Structures are given as structure tokens and as C-alpha cells.
Amino acid sequence: MLRHNHGKGEMMSKLAVKGGTPVRDVKSNPWPQWPVWDEREEKALLEVLRSGVWSYNGPKERQFNDAFARFIGTDYALSAANGTITLQLALEACGVGYGDEVIVPGLTWQATAAAAVDINAVPILVDVTEDTWCLDPTKVAEAVTPRTKAIIPVHLYGSFVDMDALMPIAERHGLWVIEDCAHKHGGQWKDKKAGSIGHIGSFSFQLSKLMTAGEGGALTTSNPQLWEKLDALRNCGRRPEDDSDADKGAGVYGDEGNFIQSGNYRITDFQAALLVEALERLPEQNKNRDENAMYFNAQLAEIPGVLPVRRDERETAEAYFNFAFRYHQGEFKGLPIEAFRAALAAELGCGVEGSYEPLNACPLYTPPTKPWRHKLTDDYFARIDPKRFDLPVCTRVYREESVCLHHNVLMGTRADMDLMLEAIRKIHDNADALM
Ligand SMILES: Cc1ncc(COP(=O)(O)O)c(C=O)c1O
């Protein structure tokens, strides 16, 4: 009996990545599923199917736009095809174009910078702060030049850009601020939701995001001129709410002579139907994730070598897309972070990743591959070369510090958090076995 217990104990302390028993048995105890749906979504989709109004300012799209604007606290919201095109259209609506500089963080999904390249502007990659991993306003101030036209702060990793510091810099220099809220649906800075602080908010509804319709995006603003332009830009250059005669040339934005050219970036009413439901579910889901994250982070601080990403006290509601924490190899007997992530993934039976690769090294962000390259000057290509930017904090976060989990791990109970903490302790106590 004693020998049997001893054997079991050994299996429990033996790391799963080495063949031991994982802390979480995902067969009997699976993680909460993402995306979330039930009869509500089925009913809403059937309603659209049977109505025959599958797109083009359908009732669900209007309902969603109104509800999303109310939720974010802006006068307007507009749905669009995805959270990449929303960034591009936002820049266009602000009049940003060829050669203009757009400040973006070095640590973000490549779309934030690619949106600027796609309109022949120049992304200026700026480093992040050590403890929030979000755009550093001090470094933004240093990066402003006479060519700067816009800043795209990105709120991510359970943290927020210090908007109290950023907005005065933008005002001082007359710059547009487009908040990339692809990770922050419902997050709040003081009394304002992400997407209502800058001039335009940009959201993604891609499958893994906090609200999803498979694909999709939205733009928020309280500026009527920007709204009008944005609506035309997402809808072939047509004037908002007046496209019934569009095929005959009527209802075109700027028919006083200031026409706008654009493509079709609308969503379908099927997507809007899913988004109406997703928005209703979001506050409760965010609350659950936040309570779990707060509990987890408080306990995490007790384990040597791991630390929560800093949450500013001005963040009054948190929204987690990537749930991240900081790792210090020295406290884990020198265990490289890749080995730690792999060990944690094996213990928990879920994906464990690092942060985004800094944009000055990201192979997906390769501006000179665009087909129009032969039309542009060498000087332009020198200016958009991401390698010219020095991003030491982004690089350290990516190479040494970041451990990121998908937000679905926060959608269960405290017992799930306890298992995550147990897995980290187990790796800490048995790091020798991986060296
Ligand atoms: C920070 C950020 N911005 C923009 C996007 C683009 O969104 P989409 O995938 O909907 O085009 C993403 C998507 O992953 C993102 O993470």
C-alpha cells in the first residue's frame, strides 16, 4: 500500500511533458468551449434565414450597430468585414495617406501596422512599457515628427494604454487617435470604454475574439463627419442611409464634388444576428473572466519567478483576450521560457503561447512584398523597413517573459484557476527534470 502511494506521488510530481500525470485531465474535465452558443444563436440565425434579408443594412445589422454604440458609449457604431479593414478605413477617414507617419506599438498583431502600409503610409514602431506591454506614451512623444498624422494605441494582454498620458500628446500635435480594441471588448479606462476615448475605435469579431461572428469588425466614433466617411468607405463610397438608388449613381458620398472611392466591406445579417447575441453575453462573460483573473493573479504573486502583467488602477473593467503573465527564468533554475510553456501546456492540456513577435522581426509583416512596390520610391521603402526600429522591451517580452493563454481558460471556476496555479508550482518545483 505504502509503495503504491509512493508510486502515485511520483507520477503526480513527474512532469506531464516527461510522461507524468497531467494536473488537468482534459478528457474528464475539458476547458470551457469557445465560441459560446446555444438555442439563442440557432433561433437568431434561423430568423435571418427565413426573412430572406441576408445582408445590406438588414434589421439585425441596424440592431447591432445601435446596441454596440450604446454599449461602447459612442454616438455611432458601424459593422464591417473584419478588424484589419476597420483600421485601414479609420486611417483613410482621418485623411492619412501616402508618406504620412502612423505611430503603432511594436508588440501587436501585424494588422495594426499593415493597415498603415496598405494605404501607403509609414508605420512608426514604438516600444511598450515594461510592466503593461502596451504602447509607452513617453516613447510616443519622442517619436512624433512633423509627418506624424495618427497614433494607434492597442489595448492588450489584460492591460491598457495609459490614455491619460496619450491623449494630451495627440492633442498637442493635432494627431488622430484610433484605438485598436481587437482585444478589449468592454474594457474600461476610468468612466470610458475602450473605443470611446480616441477619435475612432476599431474592433475585431474574428473567431477567437471576445465577441465573434466567425469574422467581422466594427468602428465606433462620436464624430459625425468621421461616421459619414466611415460608412461610405465600408460601403462602396455610398452615402450613409441613402443607397437605394446607388446603382443609378445617386446616394454617393460627397456628391457635392468631394467623392470617395472604396470597396465593399459590409457584413451579412447572419453575422449581425450572432453579434447581437454575443454582445448580450459579453458583460457576464467579462465579469466571470475578470473575477477568475483577479483571483489567479493574487495567488500567482506568491509563486517565485512569475508575476501578473500590471493592471492600472484606472482600469475600471478588464477584458482579457490573451490572458498573460510574466516569467523569470532565473527562479526556475534557468529553464528556458519555451520549455516552461511546453511543460505548462502539457500539464493543462491547452495552448500556451508567447506574446506576438515584435513587428521589427515578424515575418508576416513584410511591407515590400506589396504588388505596387515598383511605383514607390526607395526612400519610402527605407522608411517602412521595420528593421530600422529598436524595440528592446518588445523583444524581451517575446523572447524571455511572456506566457499567454486564450481567454476561455478564464471562463470556468476558481477550481480551474487552482489547477493552473498547481501546474505552475509543479513546474517550479520540478524544473530540474527539464534541464
Ligand atoms: C490587435 C489586433 N488588431 C487587429 C486585428 C485584426 O482583426 P481581424 O482578424 O478581424 O482582421 C487583430 C486580429 O487578430 C488583432 O489582434
- What residues flank ligand 1, with Cβ below 6 Å? 82-84, 108-109, 111-112, 154, 180, 182-183, 204, 206, 217
pLDDT at 248: 45
In this predicted structure, the answer to whether residue 246 has a pLDDT above a threshold of 50 is: no
Nearest atom in ligand 1 to the alpha carbon of residue 115 is 4
- Pick the residue whose CA is nearest to atom 16 on ligand 1: 109
Distance from Cα 419 to the centre of ligand 1, integer Å: 30
Residue 375: partners with Cβ closer than 8 Å, 6 or more residues away: none
- Taking only the tens place, the pLDDT of each residue in 136-156 is 999 999 999 999 999 999 999
Residue with cell 504588388: 371
Nearest atom in ligand 1 to the alpha carbon of residue 217 is 10
Instruction: Judge if the upstream peptide bond of residue 336 is cis by omega within 30 degrees of 0.
Output: no
Residue 5: which pLDDT band, with cuts at 50, 70 and 90?
very low
Q: Is 256 exposed, middle or buried, given 0-12, 13-18 or 19+ CB atoms closer than 10 A? A: exposed
To test ligand 1's pocket by mutation, which of 84, 107, 156, 202 has the most ligand atoms within 8 angstroms of CB?
84
pLDDT at 4: 42
Distance from Cα 347 to the centre of ligand 1, integer Å: 29
In this predicted structure, the answer to whether residue 249 has a pLDDT above a threshold of 60 is: no
Percentage, residues of the chain above pLDDT 70: 93
Residue 254: which pLDDT band, with cuts at 50, 70 and 90?
confident
pLDDT at 251: 66
Residue from 132, 202, 190, 133 nearest 164 by CA: 190
- Taking only the tens place, the pLDDT of each residue in 45-81 is 999 999 999 998 899 999 999 999 999 999 999 999 9
pLDDT at 410: 98
Q: Which three cell numbers stand for residue 410?
A: 478564464
Distance from Cα 84 to the centre of ligand 1, integer Å: 6
Radius of gyration, alpha carbons of the chain:
23
Residue 220: which pLDDT band, with cuts at 50, 70 and 90?
very high
In this predicted structure, the answer to whether residue 427 has a pLDDT above a threshold of 70 is: yes
Mean pLDDT of 179-208: 98
Residue with cell 506576438: 356
**Exposure pattern of 350-367 as b/e (b: 16+ CB <10 Å)?**
bebebbbbbbbebeebeb
Distance from Cα 83 to the centre of ligand 1, integer Å: 5
Element (H, E) at 274: helix 269-300
Cα 410 from Cα 290, distance rounded (Å): 8
Nearest atom in ligand 1 to the alpha carbon of residue 205 is 10
Cα 149 from Cα 95, distance rounded (Å): 9
To test ligand 1's pocket by mutation, which of 79, 206, 207 has the most ligand atoms within 8 angstroms of CB?
206
Distance from Cα 336 to the centre of ligand 1, integer Å: 29
Mean pLDDT of 393-405: 98
Distance from Cα 81 to the centre of ligand 1, integer Å: 11
pTM of the predicted structure, to 2 decimals: 0.95
Percentage, residues of the chain above pLDDT 90: 87
Distance from Cα 111 to the centre of ligand 1, integer Å: 6
- Pick the residue whose CA is nearest to atom 14 on ligand 1: 109
What domains, with CATH codes, occur in the chain? Answer: 39-277 (3.40.640.10)
Chain centroid offset of residue 303 CA? 28
pLDDT at 367: 84
Residue 242: which pLDDT band, with cuts at 50, 70 and 90?
low
pLDDT at 253: 73
In this predicted structure, the answer to whether residue 371 has a pLDDT above a threshold of 70 is: no
Distance from Cα 180 to the centre of ligand 1, integer Å: 8
Q: Which three cell numbers stand for residue 306?
A: 512569475
Nearest atom in ligand 1 to the alpha carbon of residue 216 is 10
Q: Which three cell numbers stand for residue 96?
A: 492619412
Distance from Cα 389 to the centre of ligand 1, integer Å: 22
Q: What single DSSP character describes residue 309? A: P
pLDDT at 368: 79
State which amino acid sits at residue 121.
Answer: A
pLDDT at 10: 64
Residue 148: partners with Cβ closer than 8 Å, 6 or more residues away: 100, 101, 102, 103, 124, 173, 175
Q: Helices H, strands E: what count in the chain?
A: 13, 13
Residue from 409, 424, 188 nearest 289 by CA: 409
For the chain, percent helix, then strand, then coil, each to nearest 5? 45, 15, 40
pLDDT at 250: 46
Nearest atom in ligand 1 to the alpha carbon of residue 154 is 1
Chain mean pLDDT for the chain: 93
pLDDT at 6: 45
